[in-house]
Amino acid sequence: MTTQAADALLQKATRLDADDPLARYRGLFVGAVTELSYLDGNSLGRPLKRTAGDITTFIQEGWGGRLIRGWDEEWLDMPQAIGDQLGRAVLGAAAGQTIIADSTTVVLYKLIRAALAAVGDPARTEIVVDTDNFPTDRYLVEGIAREEGLTLRWIEADPASGVHLEQVRQALGPATAVVLLSHVAYRSGHLADLPAITAAVHDAGGLVVWDLCHSAGSVELQLDEWNVDFAAGCTYKYLNGGPGSPAFAYVNDRHLSGLAQPIWGWMGRKDAFEMGPGYEPAAGIRGFLSGTPAIFGMIAMRGTLDLIEEVSMAAIRQKSRQLTAYALELHDAWLAPAGVMLATPRDPDRRGGHITVDHPAFREVTAALWERDVIPDFRAPQGIRIGLSPLSTGFAELHRGMAAIRDLLPGV
């Protein structure tokens, strides 16, 4: 590459940062305005600076000041209150359908089992899942199929192109009960056609559980409008809830009446503090709770939800598309000539908030990058995932990170 071409790429990053309407929000995140290049926001988001104050206030005034009274005064209502805010700001979901609950794995287990119960047809004995879905999703349906004597129907997914509508249609049939898919593929960043796939599954008589872990907070969603049945997602990626922050569950209102989830715990009981015999689930989405809510994680994510409501998911998605487009431009200019392969769709309408690039040296390159304060993540067998969080990632930061990958490639 000529010096002039290299200068043009850097000038473009500078121009994109200058023109970015979200650039002023970067300073709200801890460590975002430094020389460190953080390209893993789709694994763990940066904390907001206000989070330290929010948690300190909670410790001193809520936990330390109100003590056990805090449960009655606020904490018991937080799973649904923050769930409603998340639904409004991020999911396109009306109130009363989203709740903050357990880990993603536990939430998905509850939703898959609830979906199977909602189908209610003993002739529907198949769960459809794809071979490249996130491990938790695959392991869960394997376990549930074993528990319930069901059959798994696997969609053979190309890790670089994801699951497409026609593949789903071919897997559907009169035995289809539940389909479990990820909206954004965790490896490639492929963005599935959620509305069309959901409609196809419904036409075949089945229900869909969507994993939104890599789309909630980076891709616009309209779960109510798209007639989604069930959805789950984590909150430590684009929602910045912190390591291990609790996941959310979405259940469309049309399924809530009379629907039970399989993990009966005291917090999901109609009258949790009666402590009486027998289990009667709480009405509505609260019945999808099981144990004591994780208050710290909900406090941490509240700041990001406030920020998303201020900014709008439309603006966040626009910057996400710009970031991934610039990442592809850098890949084509710097990495492709060195033998790096793109494992992400080029079509921006089929691409989420991260890209993946493949090269046999990337396991060793990733370790060296971390030593240089350039932090992507490695995905076996040979992928580097470039995760771009629109509220906290800048274009010059992305430029620095991609340049470091280029410089560490053997033979470059």
Model confidence over 326-337: pLDDT tens digits?
999 999 999 999
Write the pLDDT tens digit of every residue in 204-262. 999 999 999 999 999 999 999 999 999 999 999 999 999 999 999 999 999 999 898 99
**CA 258 distance to own-chain centroid:** 28
Q: CA-to-CA distance for 358 and 162, rounded, in angstroms?
A: 16
Active site residue 134: yes
Q: Is 104 labelled a binding residue?
A: yes
Candidate list 237, 302, 317, 351, residue with the active-site label: 237
Ligand-binding annotation for 246, yes or no, is: no
CA gap 26, 323 in Å, rounded: 14
Q: What is each CA distance from 397 to 137, 139, 403, in whole angstroms?
A: 33, 36, 10
CATH topology of domain 74-309: Aspartate Aminotransferase; domain 2 (3.40.640)
Q: What is the mean pLDDT of residues 126-148?
A: 97
Using pLDDT thresholds of 50, 70 and 90, give the confidence band for residue 412: low
Question: Strand ranges (DSSP E) for 15-119?
Answer: 37-38, 98-100
385 is catalytic: yes
pLDDT in tens, 299-310: 999 999 999 999
pLDDT surpasses 90 at 410: no
pLDDT at 35: 94
34 is in an annotated binding site: no
Enter the tokens of residue 101.
């609950």
- Residue intervals of the chain classified under CATH 3.40.640.10 are 74-309
Active site includes 237?
Answer: yes
DSSP-derived pairing of the beta strands 383-387 and 176-182 = unpaired
Q: Which of 46, 385, 400, 406 is catalytic?
A: 385
Helices (H), 260-312: 295-311
Of 40, 84, 130, 211, which is the active-site residue? 211
| H or E stretch at 253 | helix 253-256
If we measure between CA atoms, which residue out of 152, 141, 207, 150 comes closest to residue 178?
Answer: 207
Task: Point out the catalytic residue in the list 25, 29, 109, 134.
Answer: 134
Reading across the β-sheet that carries 207-211, which strands appear in turn? 98-100, 248-251, 230-233, 207-211, 176-182, 126-130, 151-155
When comparing pLDDT for 373 and 275, which is higher? 373
Q: In this structure, which CATH number among 3.90.1150.10, 3.40.50.300, 3.65.10.10, 3.40.109.10 belongs to the domain 3-47+313-408?
A: 3.90.1150.10
Q: Determine how β-strand 248-251 pairs with β-strand 230-233.
A: antiparallel
Instruction: Report yes or no: 368 and 376 within 8 Å, Cβ to Cβ.
Output: no
Per-chain mean pLDDT for the chain:
96
Specify the pTM: 0.97
236 is in an annotated binding site: yes
Catalytic residue among 38, 230, 236, 238: 236
User: pLDDT tens, 9-39?
Assistant: 999 999 999 999 999 999 999 999 999 999 9
Q: Annotated binding residue at 349?
A: no
Tell me how far apart the alpha carbons of residues 169 and 180 are, in angstroms, rounded to a whole number.
14
134 labeled part of a ligand binding site: yes
Sequence-distant (≥ 6) Cβ neighbours of residue 93 within 8 angstroms: 87, 223, 224, 250
Average pLDDT value for residue range 165-171: 98
Q: Say which DSSP state 5 is in.
A: H
Write out the residue limits of the CATH 3.90.1150.10 domain(s) in the chain: 3-47+313-408
Residue 135 annotated as binding?
A: yes
Instruction: Answer yes or no: 49 catalytic.
Output: no
Task: State which H helix or E strand residue 375 sits in.
Answer: strand 374-375
Q: What is the pLDDT of residues 348-380, one digit of tens each?
A: 999 999 999 999 999 999 999 999 999 999 999
Stretch 112-116: mean pLDDT, rounded? 98
pLDDT at 57: 97
183 annotated to a ligand binding site: no
